[in-house]
Amino acid sequence: MPKGRELRVGCFKPLGGLVGGFVLGWGIHMLVVRPGRLIDDIATRFLMLVLGVVGWAAGVVLDKRKLHCGGAQELDAAASARYRWLGPVSLSLLVLSAALVNRGSWEYGLYFFLIFVLLVLLVGEIGWGDPKRIFQILVPWRGR
């Protein structure tokens, strides 16, 4: 395969993750939503969006780029070490969130809390290169 063509296809890896996450979320939406339950619809559509963002993040990391600044920088050792714990934590939060969405009723409070934590971790990593940064801003505890 010519080198130019290979590079163009490689540029779309993060989009593949975005589409894959969105399609997975759409499937969950179709399986979970019960007629007349607005909260089911809102929760599953929000999960669709979050799965798309996490899919994009996975595509960026698999392309050996940092999430910081939207994937514009090469992956370094420090970011790679962060992703060793951030990846499994994010995946665990997503699995728990999907399970809670499927259950419905009072579990939605916990569902939205888990999604909030996941998004805070991602925004911290993308914006500051530190997943815990927003927690440090929200809760200015210094470990005393």
* Residue 144 pLDDT: 47
The Cα 73–Cα 12 span in angstroms is 16
Say how far apart CA 23 and CA 29 lie, in whole Å: 10
Distance CA 78, CA 59 (A): 19
**What's residue 109's pLDDT?**
87
Per-residue model confidence (pLDDT) at position 142: 60
pLDDT at position 8, please?
61
Q: Answer whether 41's CB lies under 8 Å from 6's CB.
A: no
Name residue 110's amino acid: L
Tell me the whole-structure pTM to 2 decimals.
Answer: 0.80
Helix (H, G, I), strand (E, B) or coil at 65: strand
Reading the block at residue 3, the tokens are 């080198």
Split the chain (144 residues) into runs of 10 and give each run's mean pLDDT.
56 81 85 78 87 89 88 90 92 89 78 92 90 84 57
Q: According to the model, what pLDDT value does residue 1 have?
A: 47
